[in-house]
Amino acid sequence: MTRPRKRGNGEGSIYPVEGAYRGYVWVTGTDGIRRRKYVKGRTYEETRDAWLALHTRARAGPVAAAVPTVAQHFAYWLAKVVEPNLAPKTYEKYEMFSRLYIVPGLGTKRLDRLQVRDIRAWLNRLRHACQCCAQGKDAVRPHGEQRCCAIGQCCGQHLSDRTIKDIRDTLRAALANAVAEELISRNAASVVRLPTSRRTKRTPWSVDEARAFLESARHDDDPLYAAYVLVLVLGLRRGEALGLTWNDIDMGKQELSITRQLQRSRGELLHRETKTPGSDAILPLPDICVAALHLRADRQAVERTKAADIWQDTGLVFTTTLGTPYEPRNFARHFALRCTKAGVRYIRVHDTRRTCASLLVALDVHPRVAMQILRHTQIAVTMQVYSEVPSKATQDALRRLGQSLDRPTATAAPVAAQRSLKAGRNSQPASDLVGDTGIEPVTSSV
């Protein structure tokens, strides 16, 4: 019978302790320092299996000396990785999912002990739990105003499949960072499969509904009429429309530059770069957009005169009556109110982007121009949209909206617009920029 080989120098050892066994292996930590790392088990065999697994990890590469819990790693990941490097809205989303769902459910688990079955069981619990009960939403309401969970009438506020997927993706992103920093060897969340979520199918406005909406806003002299036109005709996002400055508009060339957006994040109103580099574009302005911007420039000139010394020059196209930025949530509220006044069904502001192509057809915009506005890479895709031709009555009505009532569409900016352009140039010095993140805080509207 051959005698077992003696353990070599640095291989570690297994030895009995009170009521159990303990072993150690010499490992190189992620900081490059060589140290002992211990394992413990109730039996010799259990300890030996853990000891062998640790040996395998030590041969494969650095081994973390102290593995944090899920809660500890998320605190580090959000503060040191996400916040400095990703967009504010992305940080806001990750932080919310972490605070409400991930840390309460998995926070005490050590990263290296987090198993696929742990994550799957946790997600199943999330899917079937009433979030009003779990988060105590009804319990914090004043006594007498509690209406569901706090008085035993569960409202059944369950998470959607899309939210469950977003929560899983947030955990997966955090664990991927832990793998990259060699805290753990594998990402348990990456193998968890979820049911395919079906997006709610939203039907965009027809051309007639969009025309009725714009006619209502123009008839009532809505201060946001020009914003509605840009959102519907050019497909601008809400933040892109509200982040426009007069410097971004060239009335002579009838062009508009999309480079920045206005958004609220973590209680601060930010004037920052657009969602993605592909969102930046120089778009041609159809006549209806030029006429609407003329009206907006005239209106803003009147508001500036009335406000006098309390006017704030932000250089933005869409402002309050005091010149302050227009709050994105207020824009959404006024959009919903305008839907009611116009007698059209309510859709989200973002859903208007899907109506943009149909309106360009109705406005007789050339396919090549529409291709640029819609940001298609192939003219064939644009021509598929142009196969649907609206009625002549609808085309005539939209064309009338593009005609100025008191003057023809100019090829150069009117006096009021020139004043707005000048104010815009002088209102945003480079010193207002914060660091090199491209994020510029602006004064919030009331």
SS (H, E, C) 111-170: HHHCCHHHHHHHHHHHHHCCHHHHHCCCCCCCCCCCCCHHHCCCCCCCCCHHHHHHHHHH
Decide: 361 and 386 in contact? Cβ < 8 Å.
yes
Pick the CATH number of 70-191 from 1.10.150.130, 1.40.20.10, 3.40.50.720, 3.30.70.270: 1.10.150.130
pTM over 0.85: no
* Encoded tokens for 375: 């940001």
* Encoded tokens for 348: 């989200």
Residue 435's pLDDT is 34
Between 6 and 100, residue with greater pLDDT: 100
Residue 411's pLDDT is 36
* 356, pLDDT greater than 50: yes
Backbone angles phi, psi at 120, to 5 degrees: -65, -45
Between 79 and 376, residue with greater pLDDT: 79
In angstroms, the Cα distances linking 218 to 53, 403, 405, 413 are: 72, 12, 11, 21
Per-residue pLDDT of 219-261, as tens digits, reads 999 999 999 999 998 888 899 999 999 999 999 898 899 888 8
Residue 390's pLDDT is 58
The superfamily CATH assigns to domain 207-441 is: Intergrase catalytic core (1.10.443.10)
Of 48-57, 193-202, 287-296, the least confident: 193-202
* Encoded tokens for 70: 């899920």
Per-residue pLDDT of 369-405, as tens digits, reads 777 777 766 767 666 655 455 566 665 666 666 654 3
Q: How many CB atoms lie within 10 A of CB 415?
A: 10
Residue 368's pLDDT is 74
Decide: 82 and 52 in contact? Cβ < 8 Å.
no
CA 156 to chain centre: 27
* Encoded tokens for 4: 């077992």
* 446, pLDDT greater than 70: no
Between 58 and 309, residue with greater pLDDT: 309
Average pLDDT, the chain: 80
* 270, pLDDT greater than 50: yes
Decide: 298 and 416 in contact? Cβ < 8 Å.
yes
Collapse the DSSP code of 11 into the 3-class scheme (helix H, G, I; strand E, B; otherwise coil) and give the result.
coil
Of 130-134, 214-218, 341-345, 431-435, the least confident: 431-435
Decide: 236 and 258 in contact? Cβ < 8 Å.
yes
Residue 399's pLDDT is 63
Kind and range of the H or E run holding 384: helix 379-385
Q: For the chain, what is the radius of gyration of the CA atoms?
A: 30
Residue 152's pLDDT is 81
Alpha-carbon torsion, ordered 43, 44, 46, 49, to 10 deg:
180
Choose the most confident range, by mean pLDDT, from 197-201, 335-339, 441-445: 335-339
Spatial distance between the Cα atoms of 310 and 329, rounded to a whole number of angstroms: 24
Per-residue pLDDT of 400-421, as tens digits, reads 666 543 333 333 333 344 444 4
Between 32 and 257, residue with greater pLDDT: 257
Task: Name 140's Cβ contacts closer than 8 Å, sequence gap at least 6.
Answer: none
DSSP assignment string, 200-219? PP-PPPPHHHHHHHHHHHHH
Decide: 290 and 409 in contact? Cβ < 8 Å.
yes
In angstroms, the Cα distances linking 301 to 2, 152, 187, 291, 427 are: 98, 57, 58, 16, 15
Backbone angles phi, psi at 400, to 5 degrees: -65, -35
CA 281 to chain centre: 20
Q: Give the residue-averaged pLDDT of 121-135.
A: 88
Residue 424's pLDDT is 41
Backbone angles phi, psi at 356, to 5 degrees: -55, -50
Task: Name the residue among 69, 92, 67 with its Cα closest to residue 82.
Answer: 92
Decide: 333 and 222 in contact? Cβ < 8 Å.
no
In angstroms, the Cα distances linking 372 to 193, 224, 247, 319, 357 are: 39, 25, 21, 28, 11
* 358, pLDDT greater than 80: no
